[in-house]
Structure 1
Amino acid sequence: MKKVLVAGATGYLGKFLVKELAEKNYEVSAITRNPKKTEELKKLGASNVLVAEVTDKSALTGICDNIDVVITAVGKTKQKDNFKYMDVDYQANKDLLDEAKRAGVQKFIYVSGLGSEKFSHVKLYAAKLKFEKELKKSGINYAIAYPGGFFIDMLEMLDLAKKGNAYLYGDGYNSINPIHGADVAEEVVKMIDGDLKEKTFAGPEVFSQREVMELAYKVIGKPAPKFRTTPAWLVRGIFKTLKLFTPEKVYGNMEFVTTVATNDLVATPAGSRKLEDFFKENK
């Protein structure tokens, strides 16, 4: 039985990874910075829960000992701390990689995101891309997953629909095929014994942003109102200006959100779970 360490285990994707690994009979160790999450992770199937702050290099010493495979979904999202994307998406993963190499880990799997190279001007993607390059030259057996946007990120549109709003960045005609976290976990776990170094994938259905909003209104049983839009060029201009006089923690997440909301992000279909069902579960 292979021993797999999951970093970022209490995040949206991390929980699905722990559950999927346990169901596939891997021995799962999970890292959390919050000791109160221990029981939750054990219920998901983790046999060992390690309390450590991944942004503290010293806390990672020995954490990969007796581990066969490391899967990291570590990344900064909407946390209200003072860490920058480079501190988390790059440096924390780099420190974990160094520890994995020292411990003789057989394989290191990194969950990045669709578009990291295309949108390298965005702070979040720049940090991810920097770590990808570090991993590729590390000499360790590696794999990188590039999933599309998550279903959970689409809940913002469901929330707007509940409030009777229909606001879109850009014209709303750009295409996406979002994916459920459980489907992402299934694809990532397959990479443990697979030969692919890189896998780019997203959900089974392609939508425009407008169609996602229309689906949200359909699920709550209301007709969609007229869409309100902001031209993509104006959105980009606003955030270029914001970057000049606000800290990264203010503009960073919005820069990411508006970038993915105004560009096509479509990849090879994977998984079976439907966005409509997800909306129904969360309405």
Structure 2
Amino acid sequence: LILIFKEVFEMLLQRSSVCPSACATHQHASNSSILAPTRPITGSAIHAHLASTSDIRQASLIRNLNTHRATAAPSLSLSKPSMLCRAAATADGIQEDYRLRDPKDVRVLVVGCTGYIGKFVTKELARRGYNVVAFTREQAGIKGKMGKEDIKEEFEGIDVRFGNVMDVESLKSVAFKDKVDVVVSCLASRTGGIKDSQMIDYQATKNCLDVARSCGSSHFVLLSAICVQKPELEFQRAKLRLENDLKAATDITHSIVRPTAFFKSVAGQVQLIKDGAPFVMFGDGTLAACKPISEANLASFIADCVVQRDKINQVLPIGGPGKAYTARDQAEILFRLTGKPQNYFPVPVALMDGIIGILDFLAKFFPEQMEDAAEFGRIGRYYAVESMLVWDPVRQQYLPDATPSYGDETLEAFFAKAVKEGLKGQELGDQAVFGVNEE
């Protein structure tokens, strides 16, 4: 019975328009006087519309994300920073602005470099000429199938170092053995499970932040997720907790990037539609919307955060170009591109509520086996009813026009390529069900 409920839920989740990786799987010792003042983001998606009162209010929502900054930094959990890290700071504790240097003289450490977004971020930073350090486990990638030689080949010409983000000493002695100017964290739990979320989305990322601070790094770029605006899931709470720690750290600047859905998150039904299956959607397919962004465009935006001053100490929601798409919108594009007749299979949200209730009940008696299953149920329901857009807490609604757009790769162009060439590079890995688009 337990397996049946899990399989039914997983099938529905896999074939929904947005899978759990949609929102981010689903990232020193400088004087505080040189920190840039907090400013709202200045993306073209906002500035193009500031003429109207409505759009001014929408822009203020993003500005409000960036007005709170704690006055005191939390104490570091590192009891004895290494001599190597202590030597990283200058004698008077004041560092020059690394942004004034040539990119080749700026060392950028990327953690989570073998993940879906991390790969593109690492390569984009290297393309821009930065001295990139890619820190990873010896077995990485989907289901750990990449070994050391595979990883080195993937990042040819990049300084690849092997270690463990859960081990502070490994971080200090390997990742930070040379002075690191900027840390870019693309770490994310692969499944969104309860323990995995706390271990990766919070603790592993916190380890990187702590060591970065103790070793005198100047800036920390965090890949978070837009869904932390309404934290109802364990991985969202873990990410938000880390965001708050980062904002409270007055000895290092930050850029917190909150993307909407990734392209792979809405690609789960491409092959199924090509094969003539119906498009599975929750309700009438208009309950939630998102502005998906390509991995390359998001990597470019994250690389911008390394150097652009208007992104210092900012929370930066970001989506791809074009309109916000509902599941119904996505289905219509796929049916048009494949030439298949429109065929829908609506799933009542109440069905998911019932499944979650049963899994929660079973988790009381079989916690180790069922707690994560119940959490996966909550993840599925969240994406069935919550949009990946900027949230207005006053009006209690999502605002597509207030969600900044970036890049030039559209969802329709991605779908067209996927229909023609397949989904290589968009593998779901641990989020795949029944082997669909797994690897």
Quick check: TM above 0.5? yes
Partner of 2:315 in structure 1?
Answer: 198
Distance in 2 (alpha carbons) for counterparts of 1:83 and 1:228: 34
Q: Equivalent residues in 2 for 1:146-185 (5 A)?
A: 146-163=258-275, 164-173=277-286, 174-185=288-299
Q: Report the AA paired with residue 375 of structure 2.
A: G
Q: Assess if the C-alpha contact under 8 Å between 2:117 and 2:295 holds in 1.
A: yes
> 1:32: Cα distance to partner?
1.6
1:45-64 correspondence runs (5 A): 47-62=158-173, 63-64=175-176
Q: Aligned equivalents of 2:357 and 2:413: distance in 1?
A: 37
How big is the shift at 1:47? 1.9
Partner of 1:277: 413
Q: Residue 129 of structure 1: CA displacement? A: 0.6
SS of 1:192's equivalent in the other structure is helix
Corresponding residue number in structure 2 for 1:20: 124
Tell me if 1:137 matches 2:248: yes
How many angstroms does 1:117 deviate by? 2.5
The Cα shift of 1:280 comes to 3.2
Question: Residues 102 and 199 of structure 1: is their aligned pair in 2 closer, same or farther, counting only changes over 3 Å?
Answer: same
- 2:200 is the counterpart of 1:85: no
Of residues 145-154 and 155-164 in structure 1, the stretch that sits farther from structure 2 once superposed is 155-164
SS class of match (1:28): strand
Q: Any idea what the Cα deviations from partners look like across 1:158-195, whole Å, max 9, x if unmatched?
A: 13313412111233102211110111111111111223
The change in CA–CA distance for 1:44 and 1:50 in structure 2 (over 3 A counts) is closer
Task: Return the alpha-carbon distance in structure 2 between the equivalents of residues 256 and 37 of structure 1.
Answer: 33
The 1:235–1:73 alpha-carbon spacing in structure 2 relative to 1, beyond 3 Å, is same
Determine the structure 2 residue equivalent to 1:71: 184
Which structure has more relative contact order (CA 8 Å, sep 6+)? It is 2
**1:264 aligned residue:** 387
344, 348, 352: which one aligns with 1:235: 352
Q: Deviations for 1:21-42, whole angstroms, at most 9, x for unmatched residues?
A: 0111111111221352554455
Q: Which moved more, 1:109-118 or 1:272-281?
A: 272-281
Equivalence map 1:103-142=2 (5 Å): 103-118=215-230, 120-139=231-250, 140-142=252-254
Query: Is contact 1:27–1:46 with CA below 8 Å preserved after alignment?
Result: no
> SS of the counterpart of 1:264?
coil
Distance 1:262 1:30 in 2: 37
Cα distance change of structure 1 residues 190 and 45 upon mapping to structure 2, 3 Å threshold = farther
Matched pairs, number: 280
CA 1:23 to 1:110, structure 2 compared with 1: closer, same or farther past 3 Å?
A: same
Query: Which residue of structure 1 aligns with residue 19 of structure 2?
Result: none
From the CA coordinates, give the structure whose radius of gyration is larger. 2
Aligned partner of residue 268 in structure 2, secondary structure: helix
**Residues 92-128 of structure 1 deviation map (CA, whole Å, 9 limit, x = unaligned):** 101111111111111011000012031x111111111
Determine if contact 2:349/2:384 at 8 Å carries over to the other structure. Answer: no
Contact 1:19 1:45 in 2 (8 A): no
The alignment yields a C-alpha RMSD, in angstroms, of: 2.3
1:83 is displaced (CA, Å) by: 4.4
Query: What's the CA shift for 1:4?
Result: 0.6
Partner deviation per Cα, 1:58-82 (whole Å, 9 max, x = no partner): 4323322411100001011239x99
TM-score of the two chains, using structure 2 as the length reference: 0.59
Give TM-score scaled by structure 1 length. Answer: 0.89
For each residue in 1:258-279, what CA deviation from the matched residue of structure 2 results, as whole angstroms up to 9, or x when unmatched?
3123222232111110222222
Tell me which amino acid in the other structure corresponds to 2:379. Answer: F
- Shifted more, 107-116 versus 234-243: the winner is 234-243
Please, which of 206, 212, 216 is the counterpart of residue 330 of structure 2? 212
8 Å CA contact 2:194, 2:235 repeated in 1? no
Q: Which residue type is aligned with residue 231 of structure 1?
A: P
1:2 maps to which residue?
A: 106
Per the TM alignment, residue 137 of structure 1 is displaced from its structure 2 partner at its CA by 0.9
Structure 2: distance between partners of 1:147 and 1:156: 19
* 1:55 positional shift: 2.8
CA contact (8 A) 2:197 2:234 kept: yes
Give me the identity figure in percent: 28
Give the drift of 1:223: 1.9
- C-alpha separation between the residues in 1 aligned to 2:152 and 2:334? 31
